[in-house]
Amino acid sequence: MTTLTSKNKTAVLLCAIAFLNLSLFAIAGEMKNEESTTKQNRIEIKDFAFNPQTITVKSGEKVTWINRDEEPHTIVSVGKQFKKSTALDTDQEFTITVGAPGITNVDSGIVMSAPNLREWNDVPLRTLIERELGIPALVENDTNLAAVGEQWRGSATGIEDFIFIALGTGVGAGIFLRGRLHHGANWSAGEIGYAGVNGRQRPPLVFHEPGEMERSIGGLGIEAEWQRLLARERRANVSELAKLRATEIFDLAVDGDRLAGQVVQYAAQILADCIVDLALALDPEMVILGGGVGSHPELCRITAKLLGRNQFAKPQVRSSSLGTQAQLHGAISLSLSATEAQLLA
């Protein structure tokens, strides 16, 4: 901890590092005047990628982040570069938060399975990072981090019972019950990518392979359905249309394209069926749709319309207000909380 003294005022610097999606870094700091209850927050990072992107966390706060490789040894190596380049003061308190896209044992810090990444099976990520960087680390599922972010600064602020559903390359959910993140007995709570899809036989669940729902309405599944429908039609530009990504297909639906509208209906129906099952078991007040595909307004609109036919098991449906930044907000929130706990211990 670094104490800064100026006349009769003392400020304590709390620092945290958020290492997100196995590829993003941020350093968070908080300046607290010990003679009052007021706080001045700042979140910043020194750029060492030469190609930074900056986002605003809230008024006056910015985070610069960089992308890097996804293999475990590479991530740890980049972490060491980051620590060196930012000249972190070892007298300060730091915490790193890591988001992993798969089943993650938070207690042990082991990434048990990340089917969309290479070499991410039973990776002792927390141990690797703490050993190489010498900084305490937290490891969490990336969708859970997004849920934390939405409660901290997003659509779920003030909501105790909600579910964040992310659709992108993968499909997953972060579950909050009575104001607390729910992991389940075996860390697989929220792994809805393995949920069944009506009319399709679900094979036995295997750790290192994507599940039926992810294959159906993850980005690649939506694009496959679009290509299947296109193959039935004779369109002059079919080869170009077949290259569209999921969000571009949804954009076409908004513009009135009939086939694209069928694809949105296809994805929304599968998603709504899953939400009903979750609502019957957990009864959340709200479901937040996020991720690169899930946050599309048209998917949200059609899904809410389908749920609205029910007399019950129809939670509010909203698009993520934080978008692709939700996980970053969650990582910063956990890092700050852990750092503050270290200082108060």
Strands 53-58, 39-44: pairing kind: unpaired
Which domains are present in the chain?
A: 2-145+326-344 (3.30.420.40), 156-321 (3.30.420.40)
| pLDDT tens digits in sequence order for the chain, 345 residues long | 222 222 333 333 334 444 444 444 444 433 333 333 333 333 333 332 323 333 333 333 333 333 333 466 666 665 666 666 555 555 566 778 888 888 999 999 998 988 877 667 888 888 988 887 788 888 999 999 999 999 999 999 999 999 999 999 899 999 999 999 999 999 999 999 999 999 888 889 988 788 999 999 999 999 999 999 999 987 878 889 999 999 999 999 999 999 999 999 999 999 999 999 999 999 999 999 999 999 999 999 999 999 999 999 999 999 999 988 888 889 888 888 887 777 776
Per-residue confidence (pLDDT) for residue 63, from 0 to 100: 37
Per-residue confidence (pLDDT) for residue 130, from 0 to 100: 85
Kindly report the three-state secondary structure assignment for every residue of 17-70: EEEECCCEEEEEEEEEECCCCCEEEEEECCCCCCCCEEEEEECCEEEEECCCCC
Per-residue confidence (pLDDT) for residue 144, from 0 to 100: 96
Per-residue confidence (pLDDT) for residue 81, from 0 to 100: 63
Q: Which residue, among 132, 128, 129, 98, has the nearest Cα to 114 in the 3D structure?
A: 98
> In sequence order, what are the residues at sequence separation of 6 or more whose Cβ sits closer than 8 angstroms to the Cβ of residue 129?
19, 76, 79, 96, 98, 135, 137
